[in-house]
Amino acid sequence: MNNNVQTINIKRAILVRIVEAFFSENFEISVNRIPVEMRPKGFEVPYRCCIHKERAIIRDRAIADLGFSMENDDEIKALSSYADDALKREKPEENPLTVLEDACKGCVPSQIYVTDLCKGCVARPCEKVCKFGAITVKDGRSQIDVKKCNNCKMCISACPYNAIVKLAVPCEDACPVGAIAKNEKGLAVIDYEKCISCGKCIANCPFGAIHEKSQIIDVLKHIKSGKKVIVMFAPAIVGQFSGNIKQFETALLKAGFSDVYEVAQGADITTKTEAKEFEEKMKEGQPFMTTSCCAGYNELVKKHLSELKPFVSSTKTPLFYTAEIAREKYPDAKLVFISPCVAKRKEVADNPNIDFVLNSEEISAIFIGRKIEILDCEEYEIKNPPSKQGRNYALTGGVAGAVAHLIKNKEIVKPYVINGLNKDSINDLKNFARTSCCPDCNIIEVMACAGGCIGGNATINTLKGAKKIIDNLVKESDDLK
């Protein structure tokens, strides 16, 4: 989840205004007014140096919410022109993320730093533990040569006064694959050749400077035109809203979608297929198999861990199978997936059966903008509801648990769960691939986000709150057979 509540509130407020503008008498003019209406003359500026800076950043966020990259922004181009371009656009832009330069604070480079708390003590513990000769004591205070420093942080642990700290760059520190760096202006840039779209940079930037490029207008214009638009939602999405799943599905229909699919039904197909594949691989003598449901993990393997490919399940994701079902029934419709994270945008871009992606924040904005209260909705009749195992895919351990449920000989299943991708867990995966061995395990479930899909960067509920909702839903569901 994105823990920066203030940035979430600002993003949601802009999205709601874009939805309201879309259904107003004049979309382009209404969009153009958003920065001034949100920061009118005399407004007490809460975050930036002046009201004009606030308006500029709101404009940038609105451009991203209209689906455009800020890297290509023409500063004199009006929001109304972007709105018009969004209406004419035939398909979303390629890369799902963009950096808002005006919002980026230009954090100082990440480095180990000696503070004024340093006493220049006689023991010199920091100097002794440094293996790179980066620390010397001058004028009664330790100093670090940044050219020699390897950021090992041994000096931080050794200092008895906690006088040495690491100056962090939140987005860079959060990125598990080193896809974010600074340009010549000291502002964040994303290397899309390395990026796995895990969304950790979005969730961790305290200024909200990294933004998803929304497809909300692409979806709304097809709904408004009377086109059949089918919506599929991830199991994790149920945990983001009040009301029960039947009311949530009714709310989606009220928003203009023609039909609704739980992606958990695709998860049931994934479970059956993956369980069969696991048994076959174990019989063949393969040491372990990793699951293949997390889009962020799949991007990691594709771009950074090719040596792990032989161990990754070839089974398709729950979304893949659900989209096949929906496309067969609605061959000419537009298919939309509601996702808890940005990584699914990459998966969808490679799947011809799916047209667009919305996240939790965006569907919430549609509900607010269209004045749809989930708790006031009637309960939609769910035909052939998915299993408890399929719905439990939203939580860490859910995928491996579902596969184990279908294996007759439970003793052969030895699961290992990676609860969030970071540098350490990626090193573990590299070691598993290098040695062709996962000690005491033979099925590895990998989740890019801690907590599972309910911890995705675009979720709007707390992990605890979302888990409680999913747990209750699972209890009400039947076992997969």
Q: What is the pLDDT of residue 145?
A: 93
**Numbers of helices and strands, H then E, in the chain:** 20, 15
Domain that holds residue 140: 111-167
pLDDT digits (tens, 9 = 90+) for 154-191: 999 999 999 999 888 889 989 999 999 888 888 899 99
- pTM confidence score: 0.91
Give me the CATH number covering residue 307: 3.40.50
Give me the CATH number covering residue 153: 3.30.70.20
Q: How confident is the model at residue 8 (pLDDT cuts 50, 70, 90)?
A: confident
Say whether both 295 and 371 belong to one domain.
yes
Q: What is the pLDDT of residue 107?
A: 77
Would you tell me how many other CB atoms lie within 10 Å of the CB of residue 423?
12
Question: What average pLDDT score do residues 137-159 get?
Answer: 91
Q: How confident is the model at residue 3 (pLDDT cuts 50, 70, 90)?
A: low
Say whether both 34 and 91 belong to one domain.
yes
Say whether both 153 and 270 belong to one domain.
no
For residue 219, is it within any domain? Answer: no
For residue 45, is it within any domain? Answer: yes
d(CA 4, CA 172) in angstroms, rounded, equals 16
For residue 308, is it within any domain? Answer: yes
Say whether both 181 and 159 belong to one domain.
no
d(CA 27, CA 19) in angstroms, rounded, equals 9
* Tokens matching residue 386: 């998915």
Identify whether the C-beta of residue 114 lies closer than 8 Å to the C-beta of residue 142: yes
For residue 312, is it within any domain? Answer: yes
Domain boundary among 167, 189, 205: 167
pLDDT digits (tens, 9 = 90+) for 190-243: 999 999 999 999 999 988 999 999 999 999 999 999 999 999 999 999 999 999
Say whether both 438 and 311 belong to one domain.
yes
d(CA 9, CA 327) in angstroms, rounded, equals 35
Identify whether the C-beta of residue 309 lies closer than 8 Å to the C-beta of residue 340: no
* Tokens matching residue 241: 């809203």
Say whether both 322 and 468 belong to one domain.
yes
For residue 261, is it within any domain? Answer: yes
State the chain's mean pLDDT as an integer. 94
Query: Mapping DSSP to helix (H, G, I), strand (E, B) and coil, where does residue 415 land?
Result: strand
Q: How far is CA 7 from CA 3, 152, 211, 459, in A?
A: 9, 32, 10, 13
Say whether both 86 and 116 belong to one domain.
no
d(CA 153, CA 165) in angstroms, rounded, equals 8
Would you tell me how many other CB atoms lie within 10 Å of the CB of residue 212?
25
The total domain count for the chain is 3
For residue 23, is it within any domain? Answer: yes
- The DSSP symbol for 138 reads E
Say whether both 140 and 71 belong to one domain.
no
Say whether both 401 and 277 belong to one domain.
yes
Say whether both 46 and 177 belong to one domain.
yes
Q: What is the pLDDT of residue 47?
A: 80
Say whether both 125 and 55 belong to one domain.
no
Say whether both 436 and 302 belong to one domain.
yes
For residue 481, is it within any domain? Answer: no
For residue 220, is it within any domain? Answer: no
